[in-house]
Amino acid sequence: MDGALSLPQVPLGNTGLMVSRFCFGTLTIGPWQANLPLPEGAALIRRALEAGVNFIDTAELYRTYDYIRLALGAWPEPVVIATKSYAVSARQMEESLAAAQRGLNRDQVEVFLLHEQESALTLRGHGDALRVLVRAKEQGIIKAIGISTHCVAGVRAAITHPEIDVIHPLVNVAGLGIADGTREEMVQAISEARAVGKGVYLMKPLGGGNLLPRAVEALQYAVTAPADAVAVGVKTAAELDFDLSFFQPGKRPAAPPITGKRLRVEPYCRACGECGRACPTGAIAVQGGRAKVDHTRCILCGYCAARCPEFCLRVY
């Protein structure tokens, strides 16, 4: 592995935070996808830190705080952590903030996002939670407030909110998973967001794994997109090294050591429909007494698995 100097840092919009352009996405290592043993997942994060990564993306939903806490034990350099919560009420957000501080063993969590905001209407509906984040920023508990979104309308709504410092939008070479527009429309929106000083870091550059056959093209697109950083989920050291090579000046990536992934529904599914209600792309529906997946629409986010009461969905 190359040393820390191989990954230069850039400003995350006007937040005052400096981040590596590669952001370690932790969804992949957690219970809804690879479900790595705690020491193995923490070691993978530590490998990224040793390569110069200082930006980690997580969420309350992902259940990966333990991995991050273990990986950061005795780590001497500053690390920027971005987490997310679906909290709507003030009390829910206060609980999410406390859970993040406790789970990560940090007094300050640098970036805190409202998870999956779709539009100005959605943001208004989370007004109480947003006000808690504003107060937490004033108190120094967080340094920047953000949203994650799969929607062009979500990006445009965040542009108009002075309280929103950071946007985490879905963009990839195929436009896979954008809920309300084209790739070009999303790129235009995030370009406008950056022009007014919003920090932008992308999600799903590999379409949740669906673009793995086009991995080189997809990552080359991601590193040239108008964003400060790109969150990439990995589950092995070989994947990490391959992905990092796109962000290291002068590096030439080898053939991707990555195999395809797929969402699987176990036979004991009882067709409750919770997975379909959680799916941001409408890729799951109950048919014939069990959940069925439209793999052309699935972005392998794993959110359905988190909602399933029987634990019968998993990304493999």
**Strand 166-169 vs strand 109-114: parallel, antiparallel, or unpaired?**
unpaired
pLDDT at 260: 63
Residue 254 lies in a domain: no
- For 170, half-sphere exposure in the C-beta direction (CA atoms, 13 angstrom radius) is 28
pLDDT higher than 80, residue 306: no
pLDDT at 61: 95
pLDDT higher than 60, residue 12: yes
Looking at the structure, tell me whether residues 234 and 269 fall in a common domain.
no
pLDDT higher than 60, residue 5: no
- Residue written as token pair 């890729």: 283
Looking at the structure, tell me whether residues 208 and 148 fall in a common domain.
yes
Quick: pLDDT tens for 120-172. 999 999 999 999 999 999 999 999 999 999 999 999 999 999 999 999 999 99
pLDDT higher than 80, residue 217: yes
CB 13, CB 226: distance < 8 Å: no
Mean pLDDT across 302-308:
82
CA distance to 15, 154, 161, 190, 273, per residue, from 197 (Å)? 8, 16, 12, 11, 40
Mark which of 247, 276, 298 sits at the end of a domain: 247
Looking at the structure, tell me whether residues 155 and 235 fall in a common domain.
yes
Alpha-helix residue ranges (DSSP H) falling in 175-292: 183-195, 215-224, 237-244, 274-278
Nearest to 20 by CA among 57, 48, 51, 52: 52
Residue 205 lies in a domain: yes
Buried/exposed 27-57: b ≥16 CB within 10 Å, e otherwise: bbbbbbbbebeeeebbebbbbbbebbbbbbb
Mean pLDDT across 177-201:
97
pLDDT higher than 70, residue 240: yes
Residue 24 lies in a domain: yes
CATH number at residue 210: 3.20.20.100
Looking at the structure, tell me whether residues 95 and 28 fall in a common domain.
yes
pLDDT at 3: 43
The tally of domains found in the chain comes to 2
In terms of residue numbers, what domain contains 211?
Answer: 4-247
pLDDT at 175: 93
User: What is the distance between the alpha carbons of residues 72 and 182, in angstroms, rounded to a whole number?
Assistant: 38
Looking at the structure, tell me whether residues 192 and 155 fall in a common domain.
yes
User: What is the distance between the alpha carbons of residues 225 and 172, in angstroms, rounded to a whole number?
Assistant: 9
User: What is the distance between the alpha carbons of residues 166 and 113, in angstroms, rounded to a whole number?
Assistant: 8
Q: How confident is the model at residue 185 (pLDDT cuts 50, 70, 90)?
A: very high
Looking at the structure, tell me whether residues 122 and 155 fall in a common domain.
yes
Looking at the structure, tell me whether residues 242 and 267 fall in a common domain.
no
Mark which of 217, 247, 277 sits at the end of a domain: 247
pLDDT at 51: 95
Which residues share a beta bridge with 203?
170
Residue 257 lies in a domain: no
For the chain, what percentages of helix, strand and coil (3-state, to nearest 5) are there?
35, 20, 45
pLDDT higher than 70, residue 7: yes
Residue 154 lies in a domain: yes
Looking at the structure, tell me whether residues 135 and 192 fall in a common domain.
yes
Looking at the structure, tell me whether residues 235 and 277 fall in a common domain.
no
Residue 253 lies in a domain: no
Token code pair at residue 52: 């110069």
Residue 53 lies in a domain: yes
Looking at the structure, tell me whether residues 292 and 239 fall in a common domain.
no
Residue 83 lies in a domain: yes
> Does this model's pTM top 0.85?
yes
Q: What are phi and psi of 259, to 5 degrees?
A: -105, 160
Looking at the structure, tell me whether residues 308 and 213 fall in a common domain.
no
Mark which of 247, 280, 303 sits at the end of a domain: 247
Q: How confident is the model at residue 67 (pLDDT cuts 50, 70, 90)?
A: very high
Residue 63 burial (CB < 10 Å; 0-12/13-18/19+)? Answer: middle
Looking at the structure, tell me whether residues 147 and 289 fall in a common domain.
no
CATH number at residue 273: 3.30.70.20
